[in-house]
């Protein structure tokens, strides 16, 4: 399919999500709204349509028309103007609540608490995804919009369980559906030790996935050219994704464009990166979009600082995702306009760089596996410290070492996917299926390399303990139990020349804490043991610290903290402790270095990209086919640096500090130098120096985002 033949939504896009509020209508002029969107170099925008309230003249009984609309019809006014100006329009719907009056006519539409009460939000009642409001009324709403107006698609907001801080739904529809699924009643409270609760949790994901697919079908029946996008989030919004039943893995055939929301600021500054990488691996050949907030949740009228949003957007683009900018309240007489001009500048740059985006795919040699089964069925009531922190620590370690990597879903591991990588990292991926274990064993045996930690694979996908002798053979040791309460313990450096300890310097030990999986090593496996356990150095049992006069280490042990060695044609590194979580929580730089060293050793001598830059510079490696051959794109993203918090999260910075003298070295196939190297921001040519088959250039200045473009002729 040529670029001219493909649908508009399959190419690069820049989108505005314009949330209207009831009462904004008198200040809205179609010509001015479209002209403003064009100032952002936007290709499309999303405007409020219906659901909670209609911003058009609906003819559906009970679908309330906005009180500020009068006789106007915003969809009828705005869509033709946008199309005339070459822009596409999506209509936003929200099924999460409905007017209270409808509860008298359709009580089965609404969520119920355990006592059978309706759940109120802003003078509305919360609706239930299992009921006919979601499954019939919302299909009716989108059908009306798509058959009466030439909108280009539907954006769904907040379609989920647990909307607006409600808890478990006990309505008759949910009770009947879950009993048919599981033969049990919905549990009365969250209890992760109860297998029925874990079944209910999984049922929520499946129930929402079914609704997404139902809506996709209704939308395409009304207009086959219209697209459907439904909001979802990953990892850092657990209170939304889990109780909401949001798992995009189950939605792949129910969305035309894979899309994540990414709006919160009470989380790690690289949250857009982890979501963008995950989207890219789920749909490498599909369009991928992601929202970014203009505002500071939960202060919807206050602008996010420019420096923070620049890095937020840059991470999306650098990982192959088109950005949405979500503006709420922009038509209010009271608004924070300080970041409007900077965001127009950023989107204009994305438009100029569109050619570096279209068709670009990750060329990373490393992938990190994210396991939603582990998040829920192992993390249970404490998914943050038990699972997210190991993932976060691994992400930080690789980012700060400038090792490009992807994020994979544990539900879609297969030989073809793993074949794209030299190394795979499983940070405490405790819950793995038998099929996943078998796949990993064969992949490593065939030449892949694995880095994993702590209780990886010790449980099945449902969170039940599993006997995994094949995984033990891969690791080179039988895991016998877990030693806990290791605060104030250490890892002793047994072999200073071990590649895992490269660059550590003049120290005999590294800090340790938490828990450690105890091992019975297999002598025949020939594993190196670079780190061993030094027991806690404390004043007495239960103490948190030793008396200064008695803080000397009496003796070490031969208990392994890390194992390293070969398996078949591949390599394996196993950390028996919680090194990744400890790095994230405490920020011990040595632990991040050891993690990154493990991945570097796993990759071997054929690192594609080497980068010399401060640890707050993020890097991705993308690749494009060109008429002349191929193009390698090394994206550099400069995070605004602020103070570190004791959670391991960086405090959002308010200013970008330019970085100079960044060295970028790219391995060249056959040692052939690139035809040209340039900077995307200025199109300035760079003269590479060839060293050992690598092209090396220096970036004199990095502000927020730069791309080093390497052009190669076809071979």
pLDDT at residue 650 in the model: 47
Whether 193 is in a domain gets the answer no
Q: For the beta carbon of residue 482, count every other beta carbon within 10 angstroms.
A: 14
**C-alpha separations of 697 from 398, 614, 714 in Å:** 22, 16, 22
Mean pLDDT over each residue of the chain, to the nearest integer? 93
Would you say residue 715 has pLDDT above 90? no
Same domain, 596 and 517: yes
Would you say residue 615 has pLDDT above 80? yes
Whether 646 is in a domain gets the answer yes
pLDDT at residue 260 in the model: 94
CATH of the domain at 290: 3.20.20.80
Q: Among 334, 360, 386, identify where a domain stops.
A: 360
Same domain, 411 and 511: yes
Q: How many CA atoms lie within 13 A of 690 on its CB side?
A: 10
pLDDT at residue 663 in the model: 98
Same domain, 538 and 674: no
Same domain, 539 and 655: no
Would you say residue 646 has pLDDT above 50? no
Long-range contacts of 346-352 (CB under 8 A, 24+ apart): 346/309, 346/310, 346/313, 347/14, 347/40, 347/41, 347/42, 347/323, 348/40, 348/41, 349/681, 349/705, 350/12, 350/14, 350/41, 350/313, 350/317, 350/323, 351/14, 351/41
Whether 109 is in a domain gets the answer no
Whether 26 is in a domain gets the answer yes
Same domain, 254 and 385: no
**405-448 pLDDT tens trace:** 999 999 999 999 999 999 999 999 999 999 999 999 999 999 99
CATH of the domain at 641: 2.60.40.1180
How far is residue 694's CA from residue 592's CA, in Å, rounded to a whole number?
A: 26
pLDDT at residue 671 in the model: 85
**91-146 pLDDT tens trace:** 999 999 999 999 999 999 999 999 999 999 989 999 999 999 999 999 999 999 99
Would you say residue 63 has pLDDT above 90? yes
Would you say residue 193 has pLDDT above 60? yes
pLDDT at residue 652 in the model: 60
Would you say residue 148 has pLDDT above 70? yes
Same domain, 288 and 419: no
**289-303 pLDDT tens trace:** 999 988 877 788 888
Average pLDDT over residues 503-531: 95
Same domain, 624 and 587: no
Q: Among 315, 339, 360, identify where a domain stops.
A: 360
Average pLDDT over residues 466-472: 95
Same domain, 397 and 261: no
Q: Among 585, 603, 621, identify where a domain stops.
A: 603
Same domain, 337 and 381: no
State the total domains in the chain.
Answer: 3
Higher-scoring residue by pLDDT: 521, 574:
574
Would you say residue 89 has pLDDT above 70? yes
Whether 186 is in a domain gets the answer no
Same domain, 471 and 493: yes
Percent of the chain at pLDDT > 90 equals: 82
* Domain encompassing residue 598: 366-603
Tell which residue, 245, 181, 256, has the closest CA to residue 215: 256
Helix, strand, coil % over all residues of the chain, rounded to 5:
30, 25, 40
Same domain, 259 and 290: yes
Structure tokens at 26: 């008198």
Same domain, 551 and 472: yes
CATH of the domain at 477: 3.40.50.880
């Amino acid at each position: 399919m040529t670029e001219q033949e493909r649908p508009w939504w399959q190419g690069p896009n820049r989108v505005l999500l314009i949330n209207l509020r009831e009462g904004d209508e008198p200040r809205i002029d179609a010509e001015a709204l479209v002209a403003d969107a064009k100032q952002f170099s936007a290709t499309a925008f999303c405007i409020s349509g219906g659901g909670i309230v209609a911003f058009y003249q609906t003819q559906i009984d009970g679908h309330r028309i906005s009180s500020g609309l009068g006789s106007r019809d915003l969809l009828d006014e705005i869509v033709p103007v946008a199309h005339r100006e070459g822009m596409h329009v999506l209509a936003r719907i929200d099924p999460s609540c409905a007017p209270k009056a409808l509860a008298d006519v359709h009580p089965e539409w609404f969520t119920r608490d355990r006592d059978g009460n309706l759940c109120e939000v802003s003078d509305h009642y919360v609706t239930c995804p299992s009921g006919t409001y979601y499954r019939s009324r919302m299909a009716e709403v989108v059908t009306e919009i798509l058959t009466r107006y030439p909108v280009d698609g539907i954006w769904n907001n907040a379609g989920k369980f647990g909307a607006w801080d409600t808890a478990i739904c006990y309505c008759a529809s949910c009770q009947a559906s879950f009993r048919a699924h599981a033969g049990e009643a919905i549990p009365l409270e969250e209890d992760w030790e109860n297998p029925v609760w874990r079944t209910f949790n999984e049922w929520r994901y499946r129930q929402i996935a079914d609704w997404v697919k139902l809506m996709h079908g209704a939308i395409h029946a009304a207009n086959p050219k219209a697209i459907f996008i439904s909001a979802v989030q990953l990892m850092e919004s657990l209170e939304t994704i889990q109780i909401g039943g949001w798992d995009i893995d189950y939605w792949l055939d129910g969305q035309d464009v894979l899309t994540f929301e990414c709006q919160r600021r009470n989380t790690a500054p690289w949250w857009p990166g982890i979501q963008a990488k995950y989207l890219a691996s789920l749909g490498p050949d599909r369009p991928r979009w992601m929202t970014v907030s203009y505002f500071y949740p939960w202060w919807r009228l206050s602008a996010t600082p420019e420096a923070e949003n620049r890095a937020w957007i840059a991470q999306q683009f650098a990982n192959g995702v088109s950005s949405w900018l979500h503006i709420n309240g922009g038509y209010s007489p009271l608004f924070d306009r300080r970041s409007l001009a900077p965001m127009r500048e950023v989107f204009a740059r994305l438009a100029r760089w569109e050619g570096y985006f279209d068709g670009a795919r990750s060329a990373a040699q490393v992938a990190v596996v994210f396991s939603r089964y582990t998040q829920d069925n192992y993390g249970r009531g404490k998914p943050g410290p038990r699972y997210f922190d190991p993932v976060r620590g691994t992400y930080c370690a690789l980012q700060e070492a400038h090792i490009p990597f992807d994020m994979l879903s544990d539900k879609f591991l297969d030989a073809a996917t793993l074949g794209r990588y030299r190394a795979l990292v499983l940070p405490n991926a405790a819950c793995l299926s038998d099929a996943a274990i078998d796949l990993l064993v064969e992949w490593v045996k065939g030449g892949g390399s694995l880095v994993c930690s702590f209780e990886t694979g010790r449980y099945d996908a449902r969170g039940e303990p599993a006997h995994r002798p094949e995984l033990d053979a891969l690791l080179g040791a039988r895991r016998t139990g877990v030693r806990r309460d290791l605060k104030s313990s250490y890892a002793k450096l047994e072999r200073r020349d071990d590649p895992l300890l490269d660059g550590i310097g003049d120290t005999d030990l590294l800090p340790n804490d938490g828990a450690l999986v105890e091992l019975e090593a297999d002598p025949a496996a020939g594993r190196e043991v670079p780190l061993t356990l030094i027991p806690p150095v404390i004043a007495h049992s239960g103490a948190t610290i030793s008396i200064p006069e008695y803080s000397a280490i009496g003796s070490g042990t031969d208990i392994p903290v890390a194992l390293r060695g070969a398996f078949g044609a591949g390599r394996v590194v196993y950390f028996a402790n919680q090194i990744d979580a400890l790095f994230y929580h405490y920020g011990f730089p040595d632990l991040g270095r050891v993690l990154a060293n493990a991945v570097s050793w796993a990759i071997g001598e054929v690192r594609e990209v080497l980068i010399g830059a401060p640890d707050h510079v993020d890097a991705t490696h993308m690749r494009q086919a060109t008429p002349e051959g191929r193009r390698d794109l090394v994206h550099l993203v400069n995070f605004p640096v602020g103070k570190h918090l004791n959670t391991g999260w960086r405090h959002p910075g308010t200013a970008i500090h330019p970085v100079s003298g960044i060295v970028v070295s790219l391995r060249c196939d056959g040692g052939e130098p690139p035809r040209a190297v340039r900077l995307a921001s200025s199109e300035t040519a760079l003269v590479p120096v060839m060293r050992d088959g690598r092209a090396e250039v220096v970036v004199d200045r990095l502000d927020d985002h730069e791309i080093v473009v390497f052009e190669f002729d076809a071979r």
